[in-house]
Structure 1
């Protein structure tokens, strides 16, 4: 990234520096206001000077008073109503309204009052203004004009009094030389001021951007972060720290002492140990919660480097909930187990098909009932193994295809009606009721995946439901609210699920039944995630006062047609 002070590979001039920094330079704008106030002050002094001269008995010159008054009014109006954006780029209107007016007023007063009062020092004001607020050309041009005016004034006096006017030429030359030196120095200082301010603004913008990025990163960190000084005061904390510590940390006003809560005494002790040893520390600490059991937290501390001796080091404390770490490890293990299971299932499929076919052929030649019973057992268990293999492979396919875009849509009610009736015919299950109340609702769901979803939910309900009429109910509806998303519910009158079972319902290889693969509900969740739907469980009664049951509900994503309405 190239510096703004360079253009096309060539160093910029003083003009370019003021062009870059002046139009937005707050320092130059403040100097402009200062010069405007100085002009008003000088004009006021000139008016008062005329009054003092009159009070001392000197001859009153109405024209000088008028010029001073006009200059005062002009200076005040310029300060009040003119909005100049430095630099002054040439001898244009801004220069005429400020420097030009000053030169005209001071020159006229100098010529009118002759040798009584010397107005030469006042010319320093327009010279400084043009040098600081203008370019090099404007500054040197103004200084040259003032020098020529002083020399012209000396020449005028020489014409009137040739004998005594040589000193005026020397004074004019020395004054002009001094004004040129002042103009160059003032312009150089103004150029440096504009350049340093431009650099400071860029650095401040970069620092602000970096601070915003750091704040965003810290806010979104899953790890808790506390910033603690040597006195044990917490100066910063992110939302994750509040969630992990669980003592209402977010409600405390920063800074606050870390030992304010008894549950945090161990953290405060670890921070003191970090400052005492001047080295990072790591420890696993149980942190009491406002509700529930204590939480095991892994705490790591680091000290910020203290390059500036005027600034003390800070202790940055990182908090990591061990439960989340263990859950992440468990998820990674399950993912690895899933990949391995898919590979094993694929290898088992062909031998299993051969066993099933051989058993069927053998069953055709057997006449002994005992032998036929044995082959029937082989076929039954082979089919069970085949279903487990299919479940494992279905999970693998669902995960691989989760990110694919879906354009297929199905009309929910007719699809559910057909799939439910097909399942009832195949399983010969009695007591299943179908109630559809989402007429005309399209859902973004693959038809085959919807079949797998509904079959898995019905198989799961059938294991635990009773035999009476209505023990299993399949329902569709439109959710309440502005979204009105279609929903599918499978309700059964089975016994309540234990809390331990509810927590792991949708995890792979988890089942409360020994003969189940534990992949049915997990496959349902994977299919729902792929299609933007959500699946959940609750214990409720379908009608007020009716029996409670276990309900698995699916909330579908809005269809493309509904999104365009």
Structure 2
């Protein structure tokens, strides 16, 4: 037997009905309402039975009102009690002809609704036997007419018909409830599954209402947007949402929420709901697109460098060899020797450029593994200092939290080596010794791990900042101009970003490549690293993708 909250609620209503019926029966006794023979109403058994019936019903109402939860056994007892009481009133009066049998039909029907199962047939059988027994008693003991037995038999048939009919209806209702519960459970599980899928998606998902208030923000969007208040959109995204609402056919421009963040692309679509309209926003990290473009670029560059190796290196080797042989001549004037030295030096530079391009085009795909940056940096600088003489002065400041990132150690090692070599060289020009500061940590705004390489050099002039990562751009006569370009390419292959920041500017002004904002210095200060360094030189930051969201 199934006992549900709905059954308890129905039992409360049924008890209200019992109170009304019992009050009517008591009123009929004391106010001489003549739907039953007044002489029989005056019998002691009839009066006592009606008073007990109304008292018990009122008591039941009070305990239900006090919070008592009726169990199935209590409901069964109440139904049997009603059948017995009503038949006792029939016995104390003139039998089934009083019309009390109609109330018994209601009790049997209520019992089959409240208690589902075969026990409903027991209610009908008990009522039918009681009605038949009362009429047989009237026939044998009081010489009543036999047609009363027939009426009792018909009344018994009605009891069973009501029981079977309502059992069938209750069974169907029960099946419908079970189906509804199963569907509700499936909907809840599906909702949880959808929530888990949305939260684990690499694409950021944001749902806003028609007023721009955030209704849903998955973990990827939270990390990509780097928001402080999850209830509001970042200004950059809100601006693009307003542009899209004004013209839904346009594709908004990519944006960054901070200069150390990734470049993001937002796509919008309208959501129609019964309660209004909303906007679904897809936030995509363009790293994957950049990586695909990078692979295509490298494929084209590989074909180009194959021709460069054949068309340039062979003649270049001949020129260099001829200059070397010419320099060995005893009859060559000092001025001519200087010319051969220039030829060999610039031949070597051109060869270095070709080697760098070949290295870039031949670079294998990164084999990313998860690394503890603090542990990796410690080991890297132990090897670096042992392999350099004199030993450079490198200050390593590791974050208190453990920054984790996924990257190819050999490729990021090339990047860090190049940045450290540059930093030591520029610091030595200014302070007279090779010195450097390296910091690691986790950005408090977007929870991304980073490495900062800070030198004490003169920094990069403002007019050169925008060209710093362009290929073949250099401010030194001996450089190839490919070091920083290759470093950024290697970082992008590992889904990391390499940015330059100047430490020599005021805190409210910051020159940052690939951006037009000027508050990054304050952002760096809020991350807890800017205060640890001096206020001169250059800062190169490698920002890694989240180790759990890397493509």
Q: What's the TM-score once normalised by structure 1's chain length? A: 0.62
In structure 2, what is the equivalent of residue 419 of structure 1? 384
- Return closer, same or farther for 1:339/1:315 CA change in 2, 3 Å cut-off: farther
Specify whether residues 433 and 40 from structure 1 end up closer, same or farther in structure 2 by C-alpha distance, changes over 3 A only: same
Is 2:69 the counterpart of 1:83? Answer: yes
Q: Work out whether 1:389 is the aligned partner of 2:355.
A: no
Match of 1:540 among 503, 517, 531: 503
C-alpha deviation, 1:383, in angstroms: 2.9
- Residues 221-236 of structure 1 correspond to what in structure 2 (within 5 A)? none
1:160 aligns with 2:141: yes
1:186-335 pair list within 5 angstroms: 186-204=166-184, 267=245, 282-283=249-250, 332-335=292-295
Q: Secondary structure at the match of 2:358?
A: helix
Alignment-derived partner of residue 419 in structure 2: 457
Q: Deviations over 1:141-193 (max 9, x none)?
A: 2112211211111110110233x421211211222222222223322332333
CA distance in 1, matches of 2:23, 2:324: 125
CA distance in 2, matches of 1:408, 1:478: 7
> Is the Cα–Cα contact under 8 Å of residues 471 and 493 in structure 1 kept in the other structure?
no
Q: Confirm or deny that 1:516 pairs with 2:481.
A: yes
Whole-angstrom distance in 1 between the partners of 2:118 and 2:197: 50
Name which structure has the greater RCO, CA cutoff 8 Å, separation 6+: 2
Q: Deviations over 1:358-382 (max 9, x none)?
A: 7887677552445575445433421
Give the 3 Å change call, closer, same or farther, for CA 206–68 of structure 1 in structure 2.
Answer: same
Q: Could you tell me whether the CA contact under 8 Å between 2:113 and 2:170 is conserved in 1?
A: yes
Q: Does 1:400 align with 2:392?
A: no
Say yes or no: does 1:552 pair with 2:540. Answer: yes
Q: Structure 1 residues 441, 225: CA separation in 2 closer, same or farther (over 3 Å shift)?
A: closer
Q: What residue ranges of structure 2 are gaps of 5+ in the alignment?
A: 234-238, 254-264, 330-336, 505-529, 546-551
Distance (Å, rounded) in 1 between the aligned partners of 2:244 and 2:542: 45
Shift of 1:419: 1.4
**Do the aligned partners of 2:29 and 2:41 also contact (CA within 8 Å) in 1?**
no
**Contact 2:412–2:491 under 8 Å retained in 1:** no
Does the residue aligned with 1:474 lie in a helix, a strand or coil?
strand
Alignment partners' CA distance in 2, 1:179 and 1:200:
31
- 1:318–1:183 CA distance, 2 compared to 1 (3 A): closer
Look up the match of 1:378.
347
TM-fit CA distance, 1:117: 5.2
Kindly indicate whether the alpha-carbon contact (under 8 Å) linking 2:450 and 2:544 is maintained by their aligned counterparts in 1. yes
* Residue 457 of structure 1, CA deviation: 0.6
1:493 corresponds to: 457
CA distance in 2, matches of 1:236, 1:448: 42
In 1, are the aligned partners of 2:41 and 2:93 still within 8 Å (CA)? no
Partner of residue 53, structure 2: 71
3-state DSSP of counterpart to 1:400: coil
1:37 to 4, 7, 16: 16
Hey, what's the Cα distance between the residues in 1 that align with 2:434 and 2:150?
A: 116
Residue 235 of structure 1: CA displacement? 11
For 2:32 and 2:128, the matched residues in 1 are separated by 28
CA RMSD between the two structures: 5.8
Structure 1 residues 455 and 547, CA gap change in structure 2 (3 angstroms):
same
8 Å CA contact 2:372–2:403 kept in 1: the answer is no
| CA deviations over 1:254-280 (Å, ceiling 9, x no partner) | xxxxxxx9x969946x6xxxxxxxxxx
Quote the Cα distance in structure 2 between the aligned partners of 1:354 and 1:155: 127
Give the CA deviation at 1:103: 1.9
- Deviation, 1:304, is 6.6
Partner of 2:106: 125
Aligned residues of 2:398 and 2:441 also touching (Cα < 8 A): no
Are 2:503 and 2:539, in contact at CA under 8 Å, matched by a contact in 1? yes
| More off after superposition, 181-190 vs 63-72 | 63-72
Stretch of structure 1 that moved more, 512-521 or 52-61:
52-61
Please point out which of 436, 457, 461 is paired with 1:474. Answer: 436
Look up the SS of the partner of 1:548 in the other structure: coil
Q: What's the CA shift for 1:339?
A: 4.1
* Distance in 1 of aligned mates of 2:383 and 2:244: 62
Residues 1:216 and 1:99: Cα distance change in structure 2 (over 3 Å)? same
Q: 1:301/1:420 Cα in 2 relative to 1: closer, same or farther (>3 Å)? A: closer
What is the aligned partner in structure 2 of residue 292 from structure 1?
A: none
User: Which among 62, 87, 99 is matched to residue 107 of structure 1?
Assistant: 87
- The equivalent residue for 1:434 is 394
The Cα of 1:41 is off from its aligned counterpart by 3.0
SS at match of 1:30: helix
Q: Structure 1: how far apart are the matches of 2:401 and 2:322?
A: 51
Return the match for 1:51 from 30, 37, 54: 30
- More displaced stretch, 206-215 vs 490-499: 206-215
Q: Is the Cα–Cα contact under 8 Å of residues 413 and 440 in structure 1 kept in the other structure? A: no
Q: Contact 2:131/2:152 (CA < 8 Å) preserved in 1?
A: yes
Give SS of 1:519's match. helix
In structure 2, C-alpha distance between the alignment counterparts of 1:82 and 1:454, rounded to whole Å:
74
The answer on whether the counterparts of 2:443 and 2:450 sit within 8 Å (CA) in structure 1 is no
